[in-house]
Amino acid sequence: MTFDFFNPVKLITGEGCVLRHSGELSKLGKSCLIVTDASSAKKSGALGDAIKALENEGIRYTVFDRAQPNPTLTSCIEAGKTAKAEKLEFVLGIGGGSPLDLAKAAAVYAANDMADGLNIYKLDWKNRALPVAVIGTTAGTGSEITCVSVLTRPDGRKKSVGREDLYARVMFGDARYTATLPMKFTLSTALDALSHAIESYFNRTANSMTDLFAVEAAVILCEQLKLLQSAKDIGDISAWQREQLYFASVLAGYSLSQAGAVYCHTLGYYLTEEYDVPHGFACAATLPDLVMRGEKYAPERAGALFKRANTPAKELCGLIESLTEIPKVKIPKDVIIKLSEESANTKNFAKTIPHGLTKEDSVNLLTRLFG
């Protein structure tokens, strides 16, 4: 039995936690760059609370509100240059996965001179990234508590970067900020969290500690996703449900940060890059295949998970499929083959799951779904 574990992020949660614990921000510096998008952070109330907290502590701030879905290296470099030019001491990311990932990368560029922005992938930057604090406004990405930043390269492909100094120093989790999230993205982020839980559970790097987080996250998410099936709009989702979804996303994030994702994320990136499919739906497209693969090749392990979640494998697949919104996508055969070849060489692919996933398995899976 192994239970190695490392996650240095300080969690502060609950209603009003940003204002009640504003002193945590003053520990990071006297000036900061707020990284967020143009509207959702403001609409949720998170940006307003963050600004009040900073002003209460006498912290100077500059707002960089140009975060977009699937942040590009260009936007990260721009944010980093802003922080460097204004001599800001830390970064505060507010939002879902994209603004938080942008904030982490900006913290690297702010502390280092990189002639080529792609050098961030070498993980050898000289100076530690600026301290980062984060405020989550979605329940699913897990970016609040991982050291991973998923960035879009100039060629349009997504690739993650992760190093120990990209862990946030402090994370504020107030589920109220998720109340304005539209139904589509409530579902997408919940399915993203479920993907984190199931993928990390079936990853061969999982251990006794990560299982605790993955299983508990799956239990909560299966219950909540069943309730979301009958919800027609965000007004049908109670504050308690929002809290449960957020709690589950944090649990799944812990499991993800240690054990990592597998092929659902790897193959899902393509759907996001080429067809603008929201990340959670893109991962969920192949998640039923992982569920059935787990039941076939790791039956005892799968059985323990599905029993605790009170959701048999086939029922879980049906639940995922009923909530996943994917446009009619037709991927040419040659593209499927190329994508499978490229994916087979990534760390999230063949060797991380029970029985492995070969290039041929990937070709067959993608052909069945999108061929």
Q: Alpha helices of the chain — where are they, by DSSP H? A: 17-20, 23-26, 40-44, 46-56, 73-85, 97-111, 183-202, 208-228, 239-259, 263-275, 279-284, 287-297, 299-308, 313-323, 333-343, 359-370
DSSP state of 125: -
Positive or negative torsion for Cα 129, 133, 138, 142: positive
From first to last of its 371 residues, what are the pLDDT tens digits of the chain? 789 899 999 999 999 999 999 999 999 999 999 999 999 999 999 999 999 999 999 999 999 999 999 999 999 999 999 999 999 999 999 999 999 999 999 999 999 999 889 999 999 999 999 999 999 999 999 999 999 999 999 999 999 999 999 999 999 999 999 999 999 999 999 999 999 999 999 999 999 999 999 999 999 999 999 999 999 899 999 999 999 999 999 999 999 999 999 999 999 999 999 999 999 999 999 999 999 999 999 999 999 999 999 999 999 999 999 999 998 899 999 999 999 999 988 888 888 888 889 999 999 999 999 99
Torsion angles phi and psi, residue 312, rounded to 5: -60, 160
151: enclosing H helix or E strand: strand 148-152
Give the pair of three-digit tokens for residue 137: 């406004």
Positive or negative torsion for Cα 168, 172, 177, 178: positive
Instruction: Determine contact, residues 346/352, Cβ cutoff 8 Å.
Output: no
Q: Is 101 helix (H, G, I), strand (E, B) or coil?
A: helix
Which pLDDT belongs to residue 344?
87
Q: What is the rounded CA–CA span in Å between residue 282 and residue 150?
A: 15
Which pLDDT belongs to residue 115?
80
- What is the per-residue burial (b if ≥16 Cβ within 10 Å, else e) of 173-199? bbbbbbbebeeebbbbbbbbbbbbbbb
Residue appearing with tokens 């787990």? 294
Q: What is the rounded CA–CA span in Å between residue 98 and residue 121?
A: 17
Cα radius of gyration (the chain): 20
Cα dihedral 253/289/279/71 (nearest 10)? 80
Which pLDDT belongs to residue 1?
75
DSSP labels, 173-235: E-GGGGTTS-HHHHHHHHHHHHHHHHHHHHSTT--HHHHHHHHHHHHHHHHHHHHHTT--SGG
Give the pair of three-digit tokens for residue 225: 């996703």
Give the pair of three-digit tokens for residue 35: 């990284």
16: left (phi over 0), alpha (psi -120 to 50) or beta: left
